[in-house]
C-alpha cells in the first residue's frame, strides 16, 4: 500500500505530471481563444505597423521623382488592390529611386524599385505580376501572422 502511494506521489511530481499539463493549458488558453476569435493582431494594428515601417523605408530610400513610373505603378497597383480579397485596404504605391531589381511591401504600402521597372522594359504585365505578389503579402496578412507568432511566443515565455 505504501509503495503504491509513493509511486503515485512520484508520478504526480514529475515534469509531465498534472501540474505541468494544467500550466500548459492555462498558458495556451489565451492563444486558443484568440485563434477562435480570429486574430491577435487586428486590422488597425496591422495598418499602424505598416505606416511605421513605411516611414522607416522612406527615410532610408529616396522616393523616385519619375512621374511616369509612379503613375504606372499606382495605376496597376490600384487595379490589383481593388480586386483583392481585402479591397477595403487603402494601398499606397510608391517607386523608390533604387537601381536594385526588387519590390517590397508592408501592410498598406507597396514599393517598387526603379531598377525593377527598368528591368521590366515597359512590360506592364510583368510589373503587374510583381505588384500583385506584393499586394498579396498584405491581403494574406503575412506580416500580421508573423507578429502573432512573435506575440504568442513572447506570451508563452512570460
Structure confidence by residue, pLDDT tens digits, 61-75: 999 999 999 999 999
Pair (72, 137) in one structural domain = yes
Range of the domain at 75: 43-144
With cut-offs at 50, 70 and 90, classify the pLDDT of residue 20. Answer: very low
Pair (63, 101) in one structural domain = yes
Residue 98: helix, strand or coil by DSSP?
A: coil
Give the per-residue pLDDT at 68: 94
Would the pLDDT of 36 be above 70? no
Is residue 137 in a domain?
yes
Is residue 105 in a domain?
yes
Question: What's the whole-number average pLDDT of the chain?
Answer: 77
Pair (66, 138) in one structural domain = yes
Residue 62: helix, strand or coil by DSSP?
A: coil
Residue 112: helix, strand or coil by DSSP?
A: strand
Number of domains forming the structure of the chain = 2
Is residue 152 in a domain?
no
Dist. CA 50–CA 141, nearest whole Å: 11
Dist. CA 153–CA 41, nearest whole Å: 14
Would the pLDDT of 46 be above 90? no
Pair (23, 47) in one structural domain = no
Farthest CA pair distance, the chain:
88
Pairwise pLDDT comparison (149 vs 29), residue with the higher score: 149
Would the pLDDT of 150 be above 90? no
Predicted confidence (pLDDT) per residue in 100-141, tens digit: 999 999 999 999 999 999 998 868 999 999 999 999 988 887
Would the pLDDT of 56 be above 70? yes
Pair (34, 49) in one structural domain = no
Identify the CATH number of the domain in which residue 91 sits. 3.30.2010
Amino acid at each position: 500500500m505504501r509503495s503504491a502511494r509513493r509511486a503515485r506521489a512520484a508520478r504526480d511530481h514529475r515534469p509531465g505530471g498534472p501540474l505541468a499539463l494544467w500550466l500548459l493549458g492555462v498558458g495556451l488558453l489565451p492563444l486558443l481563444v484568440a485563434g477562435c476569435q480570429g486574430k491577435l493582431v487586428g486590422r488597425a494594428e496591422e495598418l499602424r505597423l505598416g505606416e511605421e515601417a513605411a516611414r522607416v523605408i522612406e527615410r532610408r530610400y529616396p522616393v523616385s521623382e519619375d512621374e511616369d513610373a509612379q503613375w504606372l505603378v499606382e495605376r496597376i497597383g490600384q487595379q490589383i488592390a481593388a480586386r483583392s480579397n481585402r479591397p477595403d485596404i487603402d494601398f499606397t504605391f510608391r517607386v523608390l529611386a533604387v537601381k536594385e531589381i526588387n519590390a517590397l511591401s508592408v501592410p498598406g504600402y507597396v514599393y517598387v524599385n526603379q531598377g525593377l521597372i527598368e528591368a521590366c522594359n515597359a512590360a506592364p504585365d510583368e510589373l503587374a505580376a510583381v505588384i500583385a505578389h506584393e499586394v498579396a503579402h498584405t491581403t494574406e496578412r503575412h506580416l500580421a501572422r508573423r507578429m502573432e507568432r512573435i506575440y504568442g511566443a513572447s506570451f508563452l515565455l512570460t
